[in-house]
Structure 1
Amino acid sequence: MGLRDDLQRDLAEAFDTDLADAVNPVVGVRKVQGEYDPDSGTTPETITNYAGRGVFGKYLAKEIDGSLIQATDEKLTILQNELFITLLGESTETLAIPEIGDVIGDKRAMNVSQDPAKATWTVQLRK
């Protein structure tokens, strides 16, 4: 086992115990416009849903610059190995990768990053 596996196992355990009261379900939606279809006169849309669990928090005052990070933005930390694409409400074995523009809850993802060990996603959310 590598560092990432150890870290993900420890974080999952913390999500189950010490952080259990702060952990929330995470449901994300990504809508992507397809190519224009001249035969039907429509532009089909592909929708990808994903789900996992994470911890919502606020940004520190020193991180808020009023432009890139606003006072009302939320910081969401998600376990990478628990974020799966869902089809018809059922999780698949395919890991999801959040992207800028995705909608999580009623907020839009403004920025997405991962920690150096690639164990968690950090998503900046804005209403």
Structure 2
Amino acid sequence: MGFDLSKIVSGAMTAAAGSVRSTVRPLTYVHVTGSPVYDPITGGTITPTTEYETRGVIARYRSRDIDGSRIQASDLKLLIAYDDLPVTPKLIDHAMIAGVRWNVHNLAADPAGALHILQMRKP
């Protein structure tokens, strides 16, 4: 009798979210791959990125965790399984969730090393 690793990780994601208001959703993770470069056509700069279609558990922070500065009431906790995101998240990355941009504000990893735990904030 084997075990289904994706089922275990999915269960861990939901448990780590710590909220009954959490839900697994599809999202686009936008990973910055280089420094901004000059665009001669627009006269501005562009930042090279790579987009990854993935999924994650999205949860609100518990009221006892919100301090108004480090964690704001509007912040989201985003949990993505390591296997679902082939890059290491960075503070300059962002995610598009239901058409809304959320910037990576803080990063953590769970002790088991199965999940990326990201604090997300609207720009």
Aligned residues: 103
**Following TM superposition, by how much is the alpha carbon of 1:76 offset from its aligned partner in structure 2, in angstroms?**
0.7
With structure 2 as the length reference, what TM-score do the two structures score? 0.68
Asked if structure 2 preserves the Cα contact closer than 8 Å seen for 1:57 and 1:74, the reply is: yes
Taking the aligned partners of 2:44 and 2:76, their CA distance within structure 1 comes to: 36
Output one character per residue of 1:13-72: Cα deviation in whole Å (capped at 9) or x when no partner. 788xxxxx9211121113342577xxxx98663212223211100001111111110000
Q: Aligned ranges for residues 53-68 of structure 1 at < 5 Å?
A: 53-68=55-70
Counterparts in 2 of 1:7-22, with a 5 A limit?
Answer: 9-12=7-10, 22=23
- Alpha-carbon distance change, 64 to 103 in structure 1, aligned in 2, over 3 angstroms: same
Structure 1 unaligned runs (5+)?
Answer: 1-5, 16-20, 84-94
Task: Give 1:17-56 correspondences, 5 Å limit.
Answer: 22-31=23-32, 32-34=34-36, 45-56=47-58
TM-score by length of 1: 0.66
Do the aligned partners of 1:8 and 1:79 also contact (CA within 8 Å) in 2?
A: no
Corresponding position: 1:102 with 2:104 = no
Change in Cα spacing, 1:34 to 1:22, as seen in structure 2 (3 Å) is closer
Correspondent of 1:113 among 108, 112, 116 = 108
Which runs of 5 or more residues in structure 2 are unaligned?
14-21
Tell me the SS of whatever aligns to 2:48. Answer: strand
CA deviations over 1:61-95 (Å, ceiling 9, x no partner)? 11111111000000011111111xxxxxxxxxxx1
Compared with structure 1, are the counterparts of its residues 104 and 42 closer, same or farther at alpha carbon in structure 2 (3 Å cutoff)?
A: closer
Identical-pair percentage: 36
Which AA in structure 1 matches 2:121? R
CA distance in 2, matches of 1:29, 1:61: 29
Aligned-residue Cα RMSD (Å) equals 3.0
Query: Secondary structure at the residue paired with 1:52?
Result: strand
